[in-house]
Amino acid sequence: MSATGAVDLSAREPSSAAPDISVVMPCLNEAGSVGTCIEKAWEGIRRTGLTGEVVVSDNGSTDDSVAVAGRAGARVVRQPARGYGNAYLKGFAEARGRFIIMGDSDGSYDFTQLDRLIQPLRDGSYDYVLGSRFAGRILPGAMPWTHRYIGNPVLTGVLNRLFKVDSSDAHSGMRAFTSDAYRRMALQSEGMELASEIVINAAKVGLRGTEVPITYHPREGESKLHSMRDGWRHLRFMLLRSPNWLFTGPGMVMFVLGLVGQGVLLPGPLNLGFHAFDVHFSALFALLAIFGYQTLLFGVFARTCVPVEEGRTADRLQRWFERNYTLEKGLIGGGLMFLVGFGIDAGVLVHWLREGLGPINSLRPALLAMTLMMVGAQTAFAAFFLSFFRIDRSR
């Protein structure tokens, strides 16, 4: 900026030297706001005293966004594959700075204050900084009440719970991280769920993170958010990366409850005064145990496959499981359970024959036998199934 406040365009000319800061903005038909955002980004860079660049990742704009961005001094890159995440991933890949700032080009974030996010990185104290709208200010009209009081708090709470982080605004669109942190996070999401992936992956790879308060402004133009669809994409992403919560925990609870319930009702009906629990509940508990065990196996499968797909190391529980759950042990354990169930069924058959093939009251042990035989068979086949993955991983 000159002394008169005019924009110094020479500071925005491309340089062969890598800049300190890369401000990355996605853009889809934001001609009315992208120029102002770029101007503010340059002012924010100037205030830091560092060198910088502004990278606009155009996601197929049909208005004058590209021309406006170019005139404002941004380097425009094209990303034909539609999606919020795709646009950012292209921009991140093109960024040359050692510090990367991300923020939307719709006027909702004030880039003149990007020094708040840069300073913790510049000090070397942190690798990743999130601009929190809820710790700062949300101006009137900037966020629908359903997002402010329901959507964002619920999704942030779920993310905090599932991944043991402590974020006040996990889905803020303004963040900063070092180029090394970007490479370590190995981001892949193509859509809005990129916001969740950044928080989750930053925690998984052990990045040092912090939050700073920011101001959230009303956006210019029409919003491109789709509340239900985008909310579901975030929730789906989180669930698919937390197999313990989705499968293992619920499966274990159902399996144990089903077995205990069958054991309690095995001698006969349980009368609690207000209601008698009879064979119908034995059948329900049998179903619960079988369904729970299958769900538990899904958790085991997911924990075996996810580290391969994401290139991440297995945690302590997974390493213990891989050391101790072998094909041979699975076959022996599953076979023993199957034989116990078969033995109970054989006893029921002998009892029936001794009664002259007449009616007998042996449905409870028969249900328990069925449960043990199915669980045993599932255990044996699961051992084979997991061995296929281990063969692929050992090649």
Q: Residue written as tokens 């401000």?
A: 23
**What CA–CA distance (Å, rounded) separates 177 from 128?**
4
Q: Is the pLDDT of residue 274 over 80?
A: no
* Alpha helices per DSSP H over the chain: 34-48, 65-71, 84-94, 115-122, 145-146, 152-163, 179-185, 194-204, 227-240, 243, 249-265, 279-310, 316-324, 327-354, 363-394
Q: Which of 108-112, 274-278, 349-353 has the highest mean pLDDT?
A: 108-112
Q: Is the pLDDT of residue 279 over 80?
A: yes
Q: Residue written as tokens 């609690």?
A: 272
**What CA–CA distance (Å, rounded) separates 184 from 32?**
35
* 221-226 LR contacts (CB < 8 Å, sep 24+): 221/29, 221/30, 221/32, 221/33, 221/106, 223/106, 224/28, 225/192
**What CA–CA distance (Å, rounded) separates 43 from 212?**
19
Angle at 201 between CA 195 and CA 203, to 5 degrees: 110
**What's the burial of 278, exposed, middle or buried (CB within 10 Å: 0-12/13-18/19+)?**
middle
Who's near 189: CB < 8 A, 6+ residues apart?
A: 85, 196, 197, 237
- The pTM is what? 0.81
Q: What is the pLDDT of residue 6?
A: 39
Nearest alpha-carbon partner for 102 in 198, 175, 207: 175
Q: Is the pLDDT of residue 69 over 90?
A: yes
Considering only residues 322 and 193, tell me which one the structure prediction assigns the higher pLDDT.
193
What is the secondary structure of 315-369 as a DSSP string?
-HHHHHHHHH--HHHHHHHHHHHHHHHHHHHHHHHHHHHHTTT-----HHHHHHH
Dihedral sign for Cα 237, 77, 68, 216, please. positive
Kindly state the average pLDDT of the residues 207-223: 92
DSSP bridge partners of 226: none
Q: What is the pLDDT of residue 193?
A: 94
Q: What is the pLDDT of residue 250?
A: 95
Q: What is the pLDDT of residue 311?
A: 43
Q: How confident is the model at residue 1 (pLDDT cuts 50, 70, 90)?
A: very low
Kindly state the average pLDDT of the residues 124-143: 96
Q: Is the pLDDT of residue 284 over 90?
A: yes
Nearest alpha-carbon partner for 134 in 126, 125, 143: 143
Nearest alpha-carbon partner for 141 in 94, 107, 91: 107
**What CA–CA distance (Å, rounded) separates 11 from 53?**
9
Q: How confident is the model at residue 96 (pLDDT cuts 50, 70, 90)?
A: very high
DSSP bridge partners of 80: none
Q: Is the pLDDT of residue 356 over 50?
A: yes
**What CA–CA distance (Å, rounded) separates 326 from 384?**
9
Kindly state the average pLDDT of the residues 264-293: 86
Q: How confident is the model at residue 306 (pLDDT cuts 50, 70, 90)?
A: low
Nearest alpha-carbon partner for 160 in 126, 200, 202: 200
**What's the burial of 220, exposed, middle or buried (CB within 10 Å: 0-12/13-18/19+)?**
middle
Q: Is the pLDDT of residue 5 over 50?
A: no
The helix-helix angle for 227-240 and 152-163 (nearest 10°) equals 0
Question: 14-55, pLDDT tens digit by residue?
Answer: 566 789 999 999 999 999 999 999 999 999 999 999 999 999
Who's near 361: CB < 8 A, 6+ residues apart?
A: none
Q: Is the pLDDT of residue 393 over 50?
A: yes
Q: How confident is the model at residue 213 (pLDDT cuts 50, 70, 90)?
A: very high
Q: What is the pLDDT of residue 244?
A: 86
Nearest alpha-carbon partner for 172 in 114, 215, 113, 112: 215
Q: Is the pLDDT of residue 260 over 50?
A: yes
